[in-house]
Amino acid sequence: EIDSNLDKIVMLFSYLSDKDMFAEFYRKQLAKRLLLNRSASDDDERSLITKLKYRCGAQFTSKLEGMLTDMNVSKDTQNNFSQWMRNNEINLGMDCSVTVLTTGFWPTYKVDEVALPNELVKCVDKFTQFYESRTSHRKLKWIHTLGTCVVVGRFDAKPIDLVISTYQACILMLFNQQQEYTAADVASATKLPMEELKKYLQTLALSKYQVLTKTPKSKETADTDVFAFNNKFTDRQRKIKMSLLVTKVSQDEKLSTKQTVDEDRKHAVEASIVRVMKARKTMPHQQLVMEVSQQLMKLFKPDPKVIKNRIESLISREYLERDKDNNGVYKYLA
């Protein structure tokens, strides 16, 4: 049943004119499913990617396949890390798993300089030590926005496991030291930008699961608002998944995805122009635009204005030149 649904999806996909736009959004959503363990089945993910590869070629799906490979390699790395800690008799006091990603395959993520609690700093340091002992030419860059933590909330009624993001954990673990903080205090302790921080505080104090209390009880968050640990909180479940924020596609993310695609299109158009001109050596403007459009139709419908701009750009960089006798004809410069 799943297989026939995937076939229908690929059939529908083949009617899209902006396949590259779809691919970029698909890549970002796949990344979140894999990193936050939201994917229903790795086999189904791989099956759909194989079908897309059959339809659009290996280049179209190479990054998606790279992401799935990274996840498998990370499992092996994690096992080796656990073995290394046992051999060196290191006890972190908690379970810590790290996913190592290859920069080229995954969407680019913002790296925030968040101040991690000491417990997490210890994990980061030990994993870095282990990783650097195995590879000397690779550098780790930590992206805490995508991390998840399971933290035990010790409430009056009973302890509850909270599945939260790393940023939410950084905020909640401050309350181990004192009962309440203002939003400004939390910002200076965690080093998170205030705009980001307010969103995370709202998920902890104003959502369905109010593990923090907020004074005053307004929807808006001001720097002077006081947040306190809610000892009275309880829930029927022993383990609750809080809103992680990262799973939602924000307006900024939509815009950045479109910008990424627009940049990639410029390169694709230029590469196509150079390919055509290298084969033909000389060509009139209209014919060149038609051939380039035909080549790129498999991925997206190019705008003739964009093609014209890219031709001008290639002329200024001396890849092409105009014919001296006829302005509407281009020559390839070897």
Kindly report the backbone phi and psi dihedral angles of residue 211, in degrees, each rounded to the nearest multiple of 5, phi listed first: -80, -15
Residues 6 or more apart whose Cβ sits within 8 Å of residue 47? 2, 3, 6
Residue type, position 189, single letter = A
Per DSSP, helices labelled H in the chain are 2-13, 19-35, 42-56, 58-87, 118-134, 166-172, 183-190, 194-205, 251-280, 285-296, 304-316
Q: Is the dihedral of CA 204, 205, 211, 212 positive or negative?
A: positive
Q: How many angstroms separate the Cα of 176 from the Cα of each of 3, 93, 152, 188?
A: 49, 16, 11, 17
Residues 6+ apart with CB under 8 A from 88: none
In the structure, what pLDDT confidence band is assigned to residue 67 with cuts at 50, 70 and 90?
very high
Task: State yes or no: pLDDT of 202 exceeds 90.
Answer: no
For residue 43, give Cα distances in angstroms to 50, 81, 247, 288. Answer: 10, 26, 21, 43
The token duo for 276 is 């055509």
Residue of 49, 51, 60, 56 whose CA lies nearest to 24: 60
Q: Give the pLDDT band of residue 222 (cuts 50, 70, 90).
A: confident
DSSP H helices in 135-232: 166-172, 183-190, 194-205
In this prediction, residue 250 has a pLDDT band, given cuts at 50, 70 and 90, of low
Q: Could you tell me the pTM of the whole model?
A: 0.74
Is the sign of the CA dihedral 142, 145, 146, 151 positive or negative? positive
CA separation for the pair 120, 103 (Å, rounded): 23
| CA neighbours closer than 13 Å in the CB half-sphere of residue 310 | 23
- Banded model confidence at residue 79, pLDDT cuts 50, 70, 90: very high
Phi, psi at residue 164, to the nearest 5°?
-135, 170
Q: How many residues does the chain have?
A: 334
Q: Are 213 and 205 in contact (CB under 8 A)?
A: yes
Contact residues for 30 (Cβ-Cβ < 8 A; gap 6+): 39, 45, 64, 67
Can you name the residues that pair with 329 across neighbouring β-strands? Answer: 284
Token pair of 160, please? 């509850």
- pLDDT at residue 246 in the model: 59
Share of the chain above pLDDT 90, in %: 26
Question: Residue 142: CB partners within 8 Å, gap ≥ 6?
Answer: 111, 124
pLDDT class of 274 with cuts at 50, 70, 90: very high
Q: List pLDDT tens digits, range 5-50.
A: 999 998 998 888 888 888 888 888 898 888 887 788 888 999 999 9
- Residue pair 157/179 in contact by the 8 Å Cβ criterion: no
C-alpha radius of gyration, the chain, whole number: 26
